[in-house]
Structure 1
Amino acid sequence: MKILAAVTEGQGPLFDLRHLRLGTPRSGEVLVKIIATGICHTDLAVRDRQIEVTMPVVLGHEGAGVITQVGDNVGHLRVGDKVILSLGSCGQCSHCASGLPTYCDQHFDYNWKASRADGTVALDDDGQPVHSHFFGQSSFASHAVVSASSVIKVAEDVPLEFLGPFGCGIMTGAGAVMNTLKPAPGTALVVFGMGAVGLSAVMAARAIGCYPIIVVDRHPSRLALAEEVGASHLIDANEDDPVQRIMTLTAGRGVPCVLECAGHVAVMADAVKVLEEGGQALLTGVVAPGTPLPLDIMHLIRGRSVRGSIMGDAAPSVFLPRLVALFQQGRFPVDKMMRFYDLRDINLAVSDLESGSTIKAVLRMPH
């Protein structure tokens, strides 16, 4: 079938809208009519060759849509199912079996290879292959052939246009709080960086009863939105030293839980500095491979710890329906940070993301 998709060649900042041919789903795959998909900074890192993926490729890994065809050996999905698309996983390794598919032993093959495991692709442009199956989906397109391991069924009454970003950025921020840090109600939490991941973390923290929720950013508009969705204390890093301000707020004690969502080494170092004894700093931001993080060993020895997290340490099939339910209840208002664009305006959406005028850009598909 012919579809419309945004293709990147990795040779410039612009995505190219093309009509491509999409093959039919094979065993273990489904065909999904994409309703909307979020743009993640990971997509832009691949476009800019900061992360190597074979080109040309259709990116996109925060899709939501409706299943229109089911391949062989897919027992849990049906035509007409509303679904969120998330990462792919093998479902058989020790990490998958223990409920941590984000750490799947075959994570690269299922997500970064931009092809099926056997090297084939589902897309072509006048006979020339275009790489597909990026994070099991390649959802910058009107339709996608998707690995069934990437698909999470959701309720019939949910508005799909809001749900795509749940599959990556929103899951990362909310999961970092709910699955990894797991603070008890009334626990103090600091979040550095009020992008989509950080704001999702703030909403999750409010939903489970954290207090105070202290946030740090350099954009007054993002700080204002953070306050609207649950932050109790705002720190503008342009005006205050975050470490000094947090230590003042806590009478010099520090906080038990800190989440870094900015992707800057200096911010990561600050996140560690404001930990109380026995506290944990969780890093989710992405920096260049090999980048060192300066740490005061004696500061850590007093029971403090630092760790990373991929995609919120979540089992998407379990965790995403939980988040969607909170969204439907009005307790997880992620729609407040979304701005919608037509697929044909993908380059405007990217420009707005890079300028900071949009926090979470979501592409609506033509139908």
Structure 2
Amino acid sequence: MTRSRTGTAAVLREVGGALQRTEIVCNELRPDELLVRMVGAGICHTDLSVMEGVVPVPLPVVLGHEGAGVVIERGSAVTSLEVGDHVVLSFDACRACRACQRGLPGYCTHARALNYACARSDGTTTLRDATGPVHGGWFGQSSLASIALASERNAVRVPRSNELALLAPLGCGIQTGAGTVLRALKPSPGQGIAIFGAGAVGAGALMAAVAARCSPIVVIDPLPSRRQLALELGATHALAPDEVGERSSGLRKVLGGTLDFCVDTVGTQAVITQALNALGAPGVCATLALRGGANPVSISQTHLLYGRTLVGVIEGDADPHTFIPELVRMWRAGQLPLERVIQTFPFDRLDEALAKMRDGSVVKPVLTFGGIE
């Protein structure tokens, strides 16, 4: 076993338990696999959902699905990436089914097996520790570790950068929010939008709405600090949920009218009702939240009858291979100020990063694993 295949990972051994920093070894690469030395890895609410048992996966497991790092080894069948390439890791997709061929890999026919099974297609695990097999391959990567296995399907080459860790959330959270605006909703300049929830996904949607020159741009969040940040990032209005009103009468009063679009990052009955009530006719609400289970909501058919649409969006309707490079260009042009929503934590401060994410004091924590070299 080469030294490069040994690293340290945050291992979840039981639902409700703490992530344990553990030495792990990556098993021998298959021909289509890559080994990536992680530079940064974002923590996402979907990772927390696994820890809390909302999303079931086999245990023990390494989580993390917003990785950025450097390719250090590649399988014999890998042709598009080379050792030394800087990459952002995103969700996995087969790249061959009907949805993938349409440029919508988030709806891949094999998405569940590739992203949630945490094992290869033959059932074998990608990792092990001193006690035995450890499940990897969460969203095709398991990047809460100093090394991660990925593939050409979900590793996206990006320009070399000393700030590579900042790009990690482009793999999921920022991509989901920004993609929902730029890929799914496609607003024209001057169209109005409300974003319910100012976490990482909401921040991605906000930055994209500013870049798309939407107006007005309303952000709704219970935390004053996040409302203030939203205003600094370009929102025209920032409201607390109780200022919106159950039927959005408060929001319409503030604006003097209705909106063309809403983005729901919360996924509750109350928020979806508020969002639909905030729309004009026609208008579109995109709902993005993963709350686990069936999560039934009730909507008025009259809302839909008068030209309103409620649509679910996965991963921003984006293809990471084309959209992540676009987001990098936006970042370099100053249109995607990632440094305003990201706080980095050395890997040994994992517990602090988790605590700050849970209490909302950090929008997007990113763990770091050392320099670029």
TM-score, length of structure 2 as denominator length: 0.95
Counterparts of 1:113 and 1:88, CA distance in 2: 12
Farther off after superposition, 172-181 or 241-250: 241-250
Tell me if the contact between 2:245 and 2:274 (Cα under 8 Å) persists in the aligned partners.
no
1:272 pairs, out of 271, 276, 280, with 276
**Alpha-carbon distance, 1:366 to partner:** 4.4
Amino acid at match of 1:357: S
Counterpart residue number, 2:295: 291
Farther off after superposition, 147-156 or 85-94: 147-156
Counterpart residue number, 1:343: 347
Provide, for residues 317-336 of structure 1, a one-character-per-residue CA deviation record: whole Å limited to 9, x for no partner: 00010001110111110210
Counterparts of 1:197 and 1:279, CA distance in 2: 21
Counterpart residue number, 1:172: 176
**Alpha-carbon distance, 1:187 to partner:** 0.6
Counterpart residue number, 2:201: 197
Farther off after superposition, 158-167 or 180-189: 158-167
1:254 pairs, out of 240, 249, 258, with 258
Tell me if the contact between 1:133 and 1:147 (Cα under 8 Å) persists in the aligned partners.
no
Tell me if the contact between 2:244 and 2:274 (Cα under 8 Å) persists in the aligned partners.
no
Tell me if the contact between 2:54 and 2:291 (Cα under 8 Å) persists in the aligned partners.
no
Counterpart residue number, 1:209: 213
Amino acid at match of 1:131: H
Counterpart residue number, 2:132: 128
Counterparts of 2:41 and 2:32, CA distance in 1: 22
Counterpart residue number, 1:137: 141
Helix, strand or coil: the match of 1:54? coil
Where structure 1 has 5 or more consecutive residues not aligned to the other structure, the ranges are: none
Number of matched pairs: 366
Counterpart residue number, 2:101: 97
Tell me if the contact between 1:38 and 1:62 (Cα under 8 Å) persists in the aligned partners.
yes
Provide, for residues 299-322 of structure 1, a one-character-per-residue CA deviation record: whole Å limited to 9, x for no partner: 220111101000100000000100
Farther off after superposition, 306-315 or 283-292: 283-292
**Alpha-carbon distance, 1:150 to partner:** 1.1
Counterpart residue number, 2:245: 241
**Alpha-carbon distance, 1:240 to partner:** 5.0
Farther off after superposition, 288-297 or 298-307: 288-297
2:166 pairs, out of 162, 168, 183, with 162
1:116 pairs, out of 103, 116, 120, with 120
Counterpart residue number, 2:90: 86
Counterparts of 1:99 and 1:195, CA distance in 2: 27
**Alpha-carbon distance, 1:249 to partner:** 3.4
Distance 1:350 1:263, change over 3 A: farther
- The alignment-based identity, stated in percent, is 37
Farther off after superposition, 167-176 or 11-20: 11-20
Provide, for residues 224-262 of structure 1, a one-character-per-residue CA deviation record: whole Å limited to 9, x for no partner: 1011111011112245527122211343x4211111112
**Alpha-carbon distance, 1:11 to partner:** 3.5
Counterparts of 2:154 and 2:296, CA distance in 1: 33
TM-score, length of structure 1 as denominator length: 0.97
Farther off after superposition, 148-157 or 193-202: 148-157
Helix, strand or coil: the match of 1:43? helix
**Alpha-carbon distance, 1:12 to partner:** 2.8
RMSD across aligned C-alpha pairs, in angstroms?
1.4
1:310 pairs, out of 287, 310, 314, with 314
Counterparts of 1:49 and 1:3, CA distance in 2: 26
Farther off after superposition, 119-128 or 174-183: 119-128
Tell me if the contact between 1:9 and 1:47 (Cα under 8 Å) persists in the aligned partners.
no
Where structure 2 has 5 or more consecutive residues not aligned to the other structure, the ranges are: none
Distance 1:226 1:296, change over 3 A: same
Which 4+ residue blocks in structure 1 deviate beyond 3 angstroms? none
Counterparts of 1:25 and 1:230, CA distance in 2: 45
Counterparts of 2:370 and 2:48, CA distance in 1: 22
**Alpha-carbon distance, 1:48 to partner:** 1.3
Tell me if the contact between 1:24 and 1:31 (Cα under 8 Å) persists in the aligned partners.
no
